[in-house]
Chains A and B, each alone.
Chain A
Amino acid sequence: MSDIVLKGVSKHYGSVRAVDDISFEAAAGSFLVLLGPSGCGKSTALRLIAGLEEPTAGRVLIAGRDVTRDPPSQRHVSMVFQSYALFPHLDVGENIVFGLKVRRVAAAERHRRLERVAELVGLDGLLDRRPAQLSGGQRQRVALARAIIAENAVCLMDEPLSNLDAQLRHEMRVEIRALQQRLGMTVVYVTHDQIEAMSMADRIILLREGRVEQSGEPEALYARPSSAFAARFIGTPPMNILRLAAVDGGAGIRGAANGRLVDGPADALLLGIRPEAIRIVERGGLPAEVVSVDYHGADTVVTTRVGDEPLMLRVSGHFPAGRRGAIRIGWDAAAAHVFDAKTGNRREEFHAFAPPA
């Protein structure tokens, strides 16, 4: 088992800072997810670990060894590419054992491992096919098999599921996670899909414009987002971030005639509440105007307007048609988050209050 450590790693392309001074650790045998919007530097970070790019600054350590200047072949890592990068002229079996052949592993040993891995990823019976004769999910498995047959302790994956349909993606998520745990691999997994990140990761590194925005366990990122960006990136629908107006003794939602919700300066703060933390109440609470209703089956996302601010809430099941128009909503004080209006950072020193009961 191998741990991965990045220390102050940067990668600049001219004036573009694809990765800008990031540091993190992936514990041996853990599943680390690099999460972030498109263009935030996830792939670049992964390629820096693989050795496909050389960092502008900083150091990369794998299993305690400084590999910053080592070529990819000496890092003993496997990689699954976003487009799978299967060799189109080789059949599935040859694709999988490609690396073993490079390293001159004996034919008998190659054969033994191939059989085992093919069974593991459910490819037995397809070994004679060419990649072009496979479905997307099967190709994905070939790429995965090629990565695990080397029995490297570290496996890097760049959005391996992004080309699959929702059903298959769900299945593969479960399979990859199970495989990682069975083999005890250290996996660094890149995705822009927060659901993938939340469901697979031991630890998430949230990237934004080449920098680490927040890192931690999925529950921590969900429960205590360190910035408005992190708050909005994790969870669907995203957290409501509301602008405030001064009221007696603090701040309330802008444009709404209501009491104090935060005990701080209105123009310097933002109030965040997750849609699933908001409930509809019969009495008390805040008045809200229903704007639109988005039925999802198990639940319904209701978009409302509170004062000047749009606010989404999630109710389970079907939203009763008769309750459109004006409703009243409430939440617990513990469910509210306070962020700085300028920097977006979390501000723990201010307190939030629940709407009046």
Chain B
Amino acid sequence: MHERRLAHVYGWLLLLPAAVLLVAFTHYPTVATLYDSLFSTATRLRPSTFVGLDNYRALGADPVFWQVVQNNFWFAVGTVPASIALAIAMALWVNGRLPGRALVRMAYFTPTVLPMIAVANIWLFFYTPEIGLLDKLVAAFGGSSHNWLGDPSTVLTCIIAMTIWKEAGFFMIFYLAALQSISPELREAATVEGASRWYYFRRILFPLLMPTTLFVLINALINAFKLVDHLFILTKGGPDNASNLLLYYIYEAAFSFFDTAYAATLTAVLLGFLAVMAVSQFFLFDRRIHYR
């Protein structure tokens, strides 16, 4: 009896450091955010008061919020499938026998290890009107100069292109690891049975990569709602909020407009959204995915 209690104490003591960190930096802020979203922002004249769901009502009436949500939706639609498809294609390519494949693998992975700020600066140069790489290319084909990041109709596409470039290399590593754990005999067996490359990919390889795809999909989606640093360098969410995304909008609300209650409300919405997505993905895919 005494010994069992002692074991319990040991158990909790061992858990304590991790639990403290988790509570202090994850659970407490989450709960605090939800709590704060129910209060008004304190000003010098008026202290913070309980306002119920007023903040959420204001959110629903905020046209910028809806534009940001829409932007983020198109951003996710533009980056997630494309970066996953590109990651699979690159992984298949560097998994094969080709000369200097270590070099190619590294080249694909480089965007991931580069600091965000450096990446943004490189792309800023690509997109610069007149002297940028993109404009030079367009000029070579007889096109006229264009302010890619200054035009509301092209700016989001520009950010999407850059994000795909950065994410695909990272996801490729996961696919490469998964591919290397698949026995080459499976391909040979399929080949002997007369399966084409495409058939083999569709019926064997892709289903076997499903666990990886689920993992990558969740990460890609979460990343799509977490992008903030590129916007600092490239667009500041502009022009006219055309490239503003949720997290950047939260940042603006909290640190540019110092509207902490509104920022907390936005954060609560983002958190709820991410939670629903993660849970529904697991439920949706669990049945169809083959885990070995």
Interface residues, chain A, with chain B CB atoms under 8 Å away: 50-52, 71-73, 77-79, 81-83, 85, 87-89, 98-99, 102-103, 132, 146, 150
Contact = CB atoms under 8 A, between A and B. Distances in A.
B193 A98 contact: yes
Contact of A79 (B186, B192, B203): B192
A88 B178 CA distance: 14
Contact of B183 (A77, A83, A99, A150): A83
A88 B290 contact: yes
B192 A73 contact: yes
Given A73-B194, A102-B195, A81 B290 contact: no
Given A72-B188, A85-B183, 14 more contacts: A50-B188, A52-B188, A81-B185, A82-B185, A83-B185, A85-B186, A87-B186, A87-B204, A88-B208, A88-B290, A88-B292, A99-B194, A102-B194, A102-B195
A132 B292 contact: yes
B34 to A, nearest CB: 41
A132 B291 CA distance: 11
Interface of B: 183, 185-186, 188-195, 199, 203-204, 207-208, 210, 290, 292
B50 to A, nearest CB: 54
B199 A50 contact: no
A85 B204 contact: no
B111 to A, nearest CB: 32
Contacts of B191: 52, 71-73
B214 to A, nearest CB: 14
Given A102-B199, A132-B292, A85 B194 contact: no
Nearest to A131: B292
Contact of B189 (A77, A85, A89): A85
A150 B189 contact: no
Contacts of B208: 88-89
B193 A102 contact: yes
A51 B194 CA distance: 12
A77 B188 CA distance: 12
Contacts of B183: 83, 85
Q: Which of B191, B194, B207, B292 has the most CB of A within 10 A?
A: B194
B212 to A, nearest CB: 13
Q: Among B186, B192, B194, B195, which residue has the most Cβ atoms of chain A within 10 A?
A: B192
Nearest to B199: A102
A98 B191 CA distance: 11
Contacts of A51: 192
Contacts of A146: 189, 193
Given A83-B183, A85-B185, A77 B192 contact: yes
B290 A79 contact: no
Contacts of B194: 72-73, 99, 102-103
11 contacts: A51-B192, A73-B192, A85-B185, A85-B189, A88-B208, A89-B208, A89-B210, A89-B290, A98-B203, A102-B190, A146-B189
Residue in A52, A83, A103 with the greatest tally of chain B CB atoms within 10 Å: A52
Contacts of A77: 192
A81 B192 CA distance: 11
A146 B194 CA distance: 13
B186 A72 contact: no
Given A85-B183, A88-B292, A50 B190 contact: no
A102 to B, nearest CB: 5
A71 B189 CA distance: 13
A88 to B, nearest CB: 6
Nearest to B204: A87
Nearest to A132: B292
A73 B186 CA distance: 14
A187 B106 CA distance: 46
B165 to A, nearest CB: 32
Contacts of B199: 102
A103 B194 CA distance: 7
B204 A72 contact: no
B78 to A, nearest CB: 30
A26 B204 CA distance: 33
A146 B193 CA distance: 9
B219 to A, nearest CB: 22
A99 B193 contact: yes
Q: Ordered nearest first, which 5 A-B pairs have the shortest CB separation? A: A99-B193, A89-B290, A73-B194, A85-B185, A85-B189
A9 B258 CA distance: 80
B3 to A, nearest CB: 40
B135 to A, nearest CB: 47
Candidate in B186, B189, B208, B210 with the most chain A CB atoms within 10 angstroms: B189
A103 B190 CA distance: 12
